A and B are shown apart, each in its own frame.
Chain A
Amino acid sequence: MSAISREDLVHLAQLAHIEMSDAELDKMTGELDAIVGAIASVSEVASSDIPATSHPIPLTNVLREDVVGQTLSIDEVLLNAPDSDSDRFKVPAILDGE
């Protein structure tokens, strides 16, 4: 059975703010399902006594002292900004924010 339905993909596309055509949705549904299936095969190998991990290297406590370093200049900060005003990024008014 499919792990990813077409509805799931529509939902994901909305969450990711990606516009997708019907043809793309049809194609991607199958492809994404195959990807999820491939990753799911990991759980066939991993038994319940193996803890989940989010990092391949067993490092912990990579911490930094609280010391101020170098910041970017305003020109550098705004280098990639499509638009700016008064040293700030200028963005379209977006209504559904918090």
Chain B
Amino acid sequence: MSNYTDELVDFDEALDRYDPVLGFEVHVELNTKTKMFSDAPNAFGDDPNTNVTPVDLGLPGVLPVVNKTAVEYSILIGLALNCQIAEKCGFARKNYFYPDTPKNFQTSQYDDPIAFDGWLDIELEDGEVFRVEIERAHMEEDAGKLTHMGGAAGRIQGADYSLVDYNRAGVPLVEIVTKPIVGAGKRAPELARAYVAAVREIVKNLGVSDAKMERGNVRCDANVSLMPKDAQKFGTRTETKNVNSLRAVEHAVRFEIERHAAVLDSGAKIVQETRHWHEDTRSTTSGRPKSDADDYRYFPEPDLVPIITTAEWVEELRSRLPEPPADRRKRLKADWGYADKEFRDVVNAGVLDEIEATIAAGTSAAVARKWWMGEIARLAKASDKEIADLGVTPQTIVELNSLIEAKKINDKIARQVLEFVLEGEGSPTDIVEKRSLAVVNDDDALGKAVDDAMAAMPDVVEKIKGGKMQAIGALMGPVMKATRGQADAGRVREIVMEKLGL
């Protein structure tokens, strides 16, 4: 339970009197095939305790062996964060008692992280850039997963017992720690979100993590403190854990700023402690104080020998670095000529790759955007899937677009054809043929449909004759109905005009 009644101060007011200082620890789960120190599979969602070896259980006499790929992925992350790579580093034991590790210690790195002294430029939505300094990025292993049973649903408070699955125990992690971030002011919550988003994007782009926050591939602990406007010395910080979505990172930082300000305004002191984030109430509650419990008694891991990184090895890895996501975005925005908002929407929808591939396959930038941000996004939303998971290929879009440009089908039919493609009926061209969906623009068929419509609606015909051209629209309905929606609307209009001698 909280020590306070959690009085809050209005955010803007709080920032009038205090400067926030932020710090983040982001844990990234690597997507190697095996674990950090054992050859058990590193896989999500398997049956409990099926990806476990004696090393993961910490059985007596076992020897861990470091996963070379995990080391290389860690170096890649370090390089992408503009870090120095340690020429020599080692592992240490971080000792604690909790059933999520059967060894009673986590194998981590202590005073010699593999990467250190980096930076990342974070661009906010309006283009303002903050430089975040990276203190270190170190290698460690994930813990097992506890499920609390009995008591209130899944909460540890009131639980009767816990069940432990060690599939995740030993999964390679890289923990990225920032230096204190000063000067963000009112933009602190936005910066928090943007920073975590940038880290997630970088590790995804590197291909070293699946980077799904909802699966815990990227997890954030957010440190917040406030100091009076004229102060030099940082205030006491709290560390909010369990902030596992971008939105939650933003809200948690905002909440802690409002809460700290209220505590400080009342003349009380901030207790240095961990706070737990609750998505349902968008608030934090007190965890445990940071004190003796933090005496982890780190010592060098005697079962693992140091890692030496040669310049050749590091440079070979550097040559594998893909174009940084921020650079790529700048390049694509310029190439495609989208407006700021258009481009931002595309980025937020996560379809940069898809649009790039579609343009490469032969459509214009505008057509690619129209499809991915329009009909495809709608279909994804309707089926509650990620756009990328729908299975629409660039080739399908190119083909649909060619059919439209050749006036074989109209936009409306094209959207139907896309649904048939997703249902596995074949290519757009096949579907148009098999289902006889080609636009009806032969004048005999259209002429008859127009005659019928005009005969049924003499009042409309009078209006058109009287010069009200928009009345033609009223004829369109029956004509479309007669042609099962396949009439070429432009041609229908022409036929009406011809028939009335206009």
Residues of chain A having any CB pair with chain B under 8 Å: 11, 14-15, 17, 54-55, 57, 59-72, 74, 77-78, 80, 85-98
Are B66's CB and A64's CB within 8 A?
A: yes
Rounded to whole Å, the gap between the CB of A74 and the closest CB of chain B is 6
Q: Which residues of B contact A78 (CB under 8 A)?
A: 49
Residue pair A90, B161 in contact (C-beta under 8 Å): yes
* A17 and B65 contact, CB distance less than 8 A: no
Question: Closest CB-CB distance, A90 to chain B, in whole Å?
Answer: 6
Q: Mark B169-197, 1 if CB is under 8 A from A, else 0.
A: 00000000000000000000000000000
29 A-B residue pairings within 8 Å (CB atoms)? A11-B292, A11-B295, A55-B305, A55-B306, A57-B305, A60-B307, A60-B308, A63-B66, A63-B67, A63-B68, A63-B71, A64-B66, A64-B67, A64-B68, A66-B32, A66-B69, A68-B33, A68-B40, A69-B34, A74-B49, A85-B163, A87-B47, A89-B164, A91-B146, A91-B164, A93-B162, A94-B98, A96-B288, A97-B100
Decide: B301 and A69 in contact? CB cutoff 8 A. Answer: no
A62 / chain B contacts, CB cutoff of 8 Å: 65-66, 304-305
What is the bound-complex CA distance between A77 and B48, given in angstroms?
A: 10
Residue B329 CB within 8 A of the other chain:
no
Cα–Cα distance between A94 and B163 once the two chains are bound (Å): 11
List B residues at the A interface (Cβ < 8 Å).
32-34, 38-41, 47-54, 57, 59, 65-71, 88, 90, 95, 97-100, 146-151, 156-157, 159-166, 241, 274, 287-288, 292-293, 295, 297, 299-302, 304-308
- Whether A17 contacts B274 by the Cβ 8 Å rule is no
User: Is the Cβ of B166 less than 8 Å from the Cβ of A77?
Assistant: yes
Docked-complex contact B165 and A88, CB < 8 angstroms: yes
Query: CA A71 – CA B65 in complex, angstroms?
Result: 15
Note all chain B residues with C-beta closer than 8 A to A54.
90, 299-302
Instruction: Name the A residues within 8 Å of B274 (CB-CB).
Output: 98
Chain B residues with Cβ below 8 Å from A65 are 68-69
List, in ascending order, chain A residues with CB within 8 A of B53's CB: 69-72
- List of B residues within 8 angstroms of A66 by Cβ: 32-34, 67-70
Q: What is the chain A residue whose CB lies nearest that of B299? A: A54
| Residues in chain B near residue A77, CB distance under 8 A | 49, 52, 57, 166
**Structural contact, B39 and A69, CB atoms closer than 8 A:** yes
- B308 in complex: contacting residue of A55, A61, A96, CB < 8 Å: A61
Across the interface, do A97 and B98 meet the contact criterion of CB distance under 8 Å? yes
Identify the 7 closest CB pairs spanning chains A and B, nearest first.
Answer: A54-B300, A69-B39, A66-B69, A63-B68, A88-B163, A89-B164, A93-B159
Task: Name B303's closest neighbour in chain A (CB-CB).
Answer: A55
The residue that A87 contacts in the complex, of B38, B48, B100, B301, with Cβ under 8 A, is B48
B474 CB to nearest A CB, Å:
66
B33/A96 in contact, CB under 8 A: no
**Chain B residue with minimal CB distance to A15?**
B295
Q: CA separation between A23 and B275, bound complex, in Å?
A: 39
**Cβ–Cβ < 8 Å partners of A69 in chain B:** 34, 38-40, 53
Min CB gap A88→B, angstroms: 4
Complex Cα distance, B92 from A55, in Å, reads 12
Which one of B53, B95, B297 has the highest number of Cβ atoms from chain A below 10 Å of its Cβ? Answer: B53
Residues of B within 8 A of A72 (CB): 52-54, 57
CA distance A7 to B156 in the complex (A): 32
Residue of B nearest to A92 (CB): B161
| CB contact between B39 and one of A60, A68, A80, A86 (< 8 Å): that residue | A68
Q: Which residue of A lies closest to B92 (CB)?
A: A54
- Give the complex CA separation of A20 and B97 in angstroms: 18
Closest to A63 in B: B68
Question: Which A residue's beta carbon lies closest to that of B91?
Answer: A54
A15 partner residues in chain B, CB cutoff 8 A: 95, 292, 295, 297
* CB <8 Å contact, B164 and A71: no
Please, which residue of chain A has its CB at the minimum distance from the CB of B147?
Answer: A88
Least CB distance from B92 to A in Å reads 9
B445 smallest CB distance to A (angstroms): 63
Q: Is the CB of B147 within 8 A of A93?
A: no
With A and B bound together, what is the CA distance between A97 and B88 in angstroms?
A: 33
Determine how close the nearest CB of chain B comes to the CB of A69; give it in whole angstroms.
Answer: 3
Other A-B pairs beyond A54-B301, A91-B146, 10, CB < 8 Å = A11-B295, A54-B90, A55-B305, A57-B305, A64-B68, A66-B34, A86-B163, A87-B47, A87-B49, A90-B161
Q: Which of B33, B38, B49, B241 contacts A98 (CB 8 A)?
A: B241
Q: CB-CB < 8 A to A60: which residues of B?
A: 88, 305-308
Q: Chain A residues near B97 (CB, 8 Å)?
A: 17
Contact B146 A97 (CB under 8 A): yes
Q: Determine whether the beta carbon of B292 is less than 8 Å from that of A94.
A: no
Cα A67 to Cα B35 in complex, Å, equals 10
A67 near B288 (CB under 8 angstroms)? no
Nearest A residue to B305 via CB reads A59
Closest to B51 in A: A71
Q: Which chain B residues border A80 with CB–CB below 8 Å?
A: 59
Write the nearest CB–CB distance from A52 to chain B, whole angstroms: 8
Q: Which of A67, A87, A93, A96 contacts B161 (CB 8 A)?
A: A93
Contacts of A87 in B (CB 8 A): 47-49
- Bound-state CA distance A96–B161 (Å) is 14
Flag if A71 contacts B292 (CB, 8 Å).
no
**Minimum CB–CB distance for A15 against chain B, Å:** 6
